[in-house]
Structure 1
Amino acid sequence: MAIFRKRNGKWQYRIYFYDEGGKRRERSRSNFTTKREAQMAAAKEESKLLNNTFVMDQSVRFDTFALEWLETFKRPHVKESTYDRISRTVKNHLIPQFGEYRLIDINRVMYQKWINEKVEVYSLGTVRSFHSTFSSILDHALLDMNLIEKNPAHRIRISKRDDTPDEDDDVLEFLEMDELNRLLAYLEATPHGKYKRSIQYLALFTLIARTGLRVGEALALEWEDIDLDAGTVRVNKTLSFGSKLELKVTKPKTKKANRTLRIDSQTKELMQRHRTSQKEVYLAYPNYKKPELPLVFHSPNGKWLRTSIVRDYLRDACKKSGVQHISPHVLRHSHAVHLLEAGADVKYVADRLGHADTKITMNIYLHVSKKIEHDAMELYEKRIGSLSEASIKMSKKLHSSN
């Protein structure tokens, strides 16, 4: 129920209500020229209250709310590495920009301008990640807590920079088999810097390209995870960054990511060579430290290899071998594409990659089916041609016999 009164020549309304916890609350607004204006505004607020769209507390700031959302609604329900990523977004990007604003004061124009600025600095994927986190926070404020009337992050446009390819041009990157072989041949023939006995990077990139491992999964491997007699690799952990950017081993990305993969005979032989080579490196180079854990791949200081180091090494190898510049993740894509082109079942490929659902595999590699269809049609046309030639020969033979 609203109460109206006139003070200093202006009209004011007060609305009293009870929140979900049974606490008596009040909302007031003044400076209306006429009582009619105050009544109309009060009726609008009461309607929001009845429809559960009434903003319960207009004083809540973004920083306070976002941090509570992180601890209460994210930390207990997501993987640690996912929480760390979201936490960095909130603390390093969203709070510095919006932290001092009340939730009700953040508007669409303000947010769109911020997104436009971020597009000029960060990759499209990173900006979309920022936007997803921000929108989730404000959806919670809107739908669950009644702290805002609408989410200003809805219907925001994230435009590409001029140097960003269009969606139609944004196709899956992978290496054709001859390109992959050229890259691996270069790594085989090129010693690893001053550690000439090491074949670590040849083994690492070959293993990813022949198994479809994620980079973090490969870098977390210990020798007990590789059964050289059976020719299998067990995946049960991954290397990732913590909240303070320190490296740490965590559980795999999904339940499906826990898997055991068979490796081909060539890769099996290479991993055996790498294990022998690794022991020789410890003896030949005193400053090349043996790690405390039996890591399959590690840096010269005996610590885990950082993905940035791996990425830079691969970029240099691509350049010197004449192969298009790729990231290590492209080797994973390449393995999936090669399997599909060889006729492997999508379910098998999804299981091998550790995808939670075959739909993910189908969506990512849908365009590969066009190439497979083209190749299949070429084979079919050759088959038709062969049959036609055989028919002509048979026809001539029959005519000659008559």
Structure 2
Amino acid sequence: MKIEAQADGTLTFRLRFGAYGKRETIRLHEHRDCDCDCGGGWTERTAQVELQNILTRVQAGIWERPKRQPVITEQVFREIPTFHEYASYWLRAKVEGVLGDKPVNENTHADYRSRLRHLLSFFGRYRLDEIDRDLCLAFKAHKIREAQEIREALAAGADLRDERNRKLVPLAPVSIKRLLGALAAILDEAVEDELIEVNPARSRRLKIHVPKPKRTFLEMDELACIEDAAGEQDPSLDLYAQAARAAPIGSSAAAVAVRLSEGKRQAQIVAELGLTKSTVSFHVRKLGALRVGRYVGREAIICTLGRSGVRNSELCDMRIGHLRLHDPEGARFRIPDAKTETGIRDVEVSPYMVEVLIMHIDRLRRAGNDTSPDAWLFQNERGGRMARQRVGEIVLEASALASEKMRERGLPPLPHITPHSLRRTYISISLLSNEFDVKWVMDQVGHADSKMTMDVYAQLQQRAKREHGASFDRLMRKAREQLYGRAETDAGGVLDRQLDRAPKTPPQTRQPRRSDRSQNPRISREITGPRSRDSNSGHRSFQSCALPAELSRREAVDGRLDATGSPGPRASERQPLAPVRSQASR
């Protein structure tokens, strides 16, 4: 470190060190208002500490030379800027965390840039004070009309491409709504900076109705079908082994098939056998019917999504070191980062999923992929992190094959499936298997709000099997016992016991009442004591259910049981009961 004196009397500390084979120099200034990125206010002691920290980072291989960044906090507009100028400042401030609660991540940054491409092409040349409500409405109408024209052109068979030669896709209503939301957010900051007085993008006329998407989840048999379909799409080692046994002994075809059955890639086969790439490719093409390809773990991906409920991004970020498959407290894996704080969690793993993940890691090892703790659990064909879009493609391809299998069995095909559909499938099955324990399921999937969990719960409530009629009767029996006591509930208790034992029959039409009531005198009960304050303590919440009409008349039930539970006399042999006088008549 060398200390240099400046013209204003302050000092500059020049740090010189070697990094990655080059000589690097960094200057730290004592002057607090310096315009570089060092921050100012450095002393000889703090400069020495910073030099030691830099050398430590260099030895660890994580040091990067600081890049000069514009001072965003001192951005001052001497005149009203254009929308392009202010939107560029807004994006940089979002990335640095000057605007908002915290700096945005890479995915959010990419999303903002995508929205700004649409906004800048329309508003870029206008000054902020020139943007009014009419211009915002014109932008909305322009995007709606443009999307409609693209849909009509695609329906007519036109092959439309964007500037990057990608297939042009019309904007959905939700995308247009997000564009208007970004426009309103930028102009809100302009109002805060006193560049404009009101935000013209905050208007009721700019609202767009976005239909709520139909959220689906699979039945248990459908989940099993899509798991099996994904397993068939993975390259089969058994089929390679059969092809090796069928090939002539000692031939190149047999040698290539044997290496393929071991899970090795074509480059590894070329290096081991000393054959040319064209020869190996020729034999691989002959095995094309056996789905020769790079293993990526399609079945493991579908199984992890459907049996653990992780998000698509969480699946892509999982590393092998996050797994605890042989933990004595139970197999689980760690989600160290998520979009919410509650998303950071430990997810329990079922025994079947443990076996699938073990076989998946073994296939990666056979193929020569990295299986260290820091390696990605689900890797792309180059061994790197798998993209979310690729996971969506794998789910769609497995869903298409599963739908074909369902049709062959005379069953309806699967609905439109996304990775999030499998997440909802896990929630639905977990609620059923854990007796609708909503709190446990929320912890498993990392929900901060129970809205989505309860949404799936509400759909499952329509499918769950219930016997509300019998439950209603049991509640009424307990209430009657609390009201009258056990000894005074012969008639009601006998009927309730018979209803619990009697087979369930469809309700019949109520018979007309008898005109002669003297033949069947009405039975009344005498209240033996005052009602207890806690007489309703045993009540539970339940859903009302209509009782069968024929069961509401006790005289219509034949073959009754007496209070001891044994069969009583038949209706023709019973003596008519005399009415019990009330206390008032006494």
Q: TM-score, length-normalised on structure 1?
A: 0.69
* 1:196-211 → structure 2 map (5 Å cutoff): 198=295, 200-211=297-308
Give yes or no for the alignment of 1:175 onto 2:218: yes
Q: Which residue identity does 1:145 align to in structure 2?
A: D
Q: 1:352 aligns with which of 424, 444, 449?
A: 444
Query: Equivalent residue of 1:234, what SS?
Result: strand
* 1:144-183 → structure 2 map (5 Å cutoff): 144-154=192-202, 155-159=204-208, 166-167=211-212, 170-183=213-226
Q: Give the distance between the partners of 1:376 and 1:314, measured in 2 at CA.
A: 28
Counterpart residue number, 2:345: 259
Q: 2:387 aligns with which of 306, 318, 338?
A: 306
Counterpart residue number, 2:336: 236
Label 1:60 to 1:95 Cα distance change in 2 as closer, same or farther (>3 A). Answer: same
User: Which structure has the highest strand share of the two?
Assistant: 1
Query: Equivalent residue of 2:416, what SS?
Result: coil
Shift of 1:312: 1.8
Shift of 1:196: 6.8
Counterpart residue number, 1:331: 422
* 1:42-61 → structure 2 map (5 Å cutoff): 59-61=80-82
Label 1:198 to 1:82 Cα distance change in 2 as closer, same or farther (>3 A). Answer: closer
Shift of 1:201: 0.9
Q: Which residue identity does 2:179 align to in structure 1?
A: F
Q: Give the distance between the partners of 1:102 and 1:388, measured in 2 at CA.
A: 80
Shift of 1:91: 3.7
Counterpart residue number, 1:277: 363
Label 1:375 to 1:122 Cα distance change in 2 as closer, same or farther (>3 A). Answer: same
CA contact (8 A) 1:186 1:321 kept: yes
Shift of 1:205: 1.2
Q: Give the distance between the partners of 1:59 and 1:332, measured in 2 at CA.
A: 48
CA contact (8 A) 2:320 2:371 kept: no
Q: Which residue identity does 1:101 align to in structure 2?
A: Y
1:171-208 residue CA offsets vs partner (Å, 9 max, x unmatched) = 32221222111111222344347457947110111111
CA contact (8 A) 1:63 1:95 kept: yes
Q: Give the distance between the partners of 1:174 and 1:345, measured in 2 at CA.
A: 18
Q: Which residue identity does 2:568 align to in structure 1?
A: L
Q: TM-score, length-normalised on structure 2?
A: 0.49
Shift of 1:158: 4.3
Shift of 1:344: 3.8
Shift of 1:372: 3.4
Q: Give the distance between the partners of 1:159 and 1:128, measured in 2 at CA.
A: 6
Q: Give the distance between the partners of 2:498 and 2:186, measured in 1 at CA.
A: 65
Q: Give the distance between the partners of 1:325 and 1:147, measured in 2 at CA.
A: 47
Counterpart residue number, 1:44: none
Q: Which residue identity does 1:68 align to in structure 2?
A: Y
Counterpart residue number, 1:13: none
Q: Which residue identity does 1:172 align to in structure 2?
A: R
Q: Give the distance between the partners of 2:91 and 2:182, measured in 1 at CA.
A: 10
Counterpart residue number, 2:532: none
Gaps of 5+ in 2: 1-76, 148-169, 236-289, 404-413, 474-496, 503-556, 562-566, 575-586
CA contact (8 A) 1:209 1:331 kept: yes
Query: Equivalent residue of 1:378, what SS?
Result: coil
Label 1:187 to 1:254 Cα distance change in 2 as closer, same or farther (>3 A). Answer: same
Shift of 1:341: 4.0
Counterpart residue number, 1:34: none
CA contact (8 A) 2:306 2:423 kept: yes
1:285-328 residue CA offsets vs partner (Å, 9 max, x unmatched) = xxxx5488522111222122222222222212211211223111
Q: 2:88 aligns with which of 67, 73, 89?
A: 67
Counterpart residue number, 2:511: none
Q: Which residue identity does 1:378 align to in structure 2?
A: R
Label 1:141 to 1:341 Cα distance change in 2 as closer, same or farther (>3 A). Answer: farther
Q: Give the distance between the partners of 1:87 and 1:347, measured in 2 at CA.
A: 35
Counterpart residue number, 1:370: 458
Counterpart residue number, 1:17: none
Q: 2:401 aligns with which of 320, 327, 331?
A: 320
CA contact (8 A) 2:216 2:421 kept: yes
* 1:79-228 → structure 2 map (5 Å cutoff): 79-81=104-106, 83-119=108-144, 120=147, 121-142=170-191, 144-154=192-202, 155-159=204-208, 166-167=211-212, 170-192=213-235, 194-195=291-292, 198=295, 200-228=297-325
Shift of 1:74: 5.2
Q: 2:468 aligns with which of 375, 380, 396?
A: 380
Q: Which residue identity does 2:560 align to in structure 1?
A: S
Query: Equivalent residue of 2:334, what SS?
Result: strand
User: Which structure has the highest helix share of the two?
Assistant: 1
Shift of 1:266: 0.9
Q: Give the distance between the partners of 2:176 and 2:569, measured in 1 at CA.
A: 73
Shift of 1:102: 0.8
Q: Which residue identity does 1:354 align to in structure 2?
A: G
Q: Which residue identity does 2:415 align to in structure 1?
A: Q
| Higher RCO (CA 8 Å, separation ≥ 6 residues) | 1
Label 1:103 to 1:393 Cα distance change in 2 as closer, same or farther (>3 A). Answer: farther
Q: Give the distance between the partners of 1:275 and 1:300, measured in 2 at CA.
A: 15
1:309-364 residue CA offsets vs partner (Å, 9 max, x unmatched) = 22222212211211223111211122123223443433333322223x22xx31x3
Q: Which residue identity does 2:376 align to in structure 1?
A: L
Counterpart residue number, 2:568: 398
CA contact (8 A) 2:296 2:378 kept: no
CA contact (8 A) 1:209 1:335 kept: yes
Q: Give the distance between the partners of 1:393 and 1:384, measured in 2 at CA.
A: 22
Query: Equivalent residue of 1:233, what SS?
Result: strand
Q: Which residue identity does 2:363 align to in structure 1?
A: S
1:225-252 residue CA offsets vs partner (Å, 9 max, x unmatched) = 1111021111114xxxxxxxxxxxxxx3
Gaps of 5+ in 1: 1-55, 238-251, 283-288
Structure showing greater radius of gyration is 2
Q: Give the distance between the partners of 1:330 and 1:70, measured in 2 at CA.
A: 33
Label 1:184 to 1:329 Cα distance change in 2 as closer, same or farther (>3 A). Answer: same
Q: Which residue identity does 1:388 align to in structure 2?
A: L
Label 1:351 to 1:112 Cα distance change in 2 as closer, same or farther (>3 A). Answer: farther
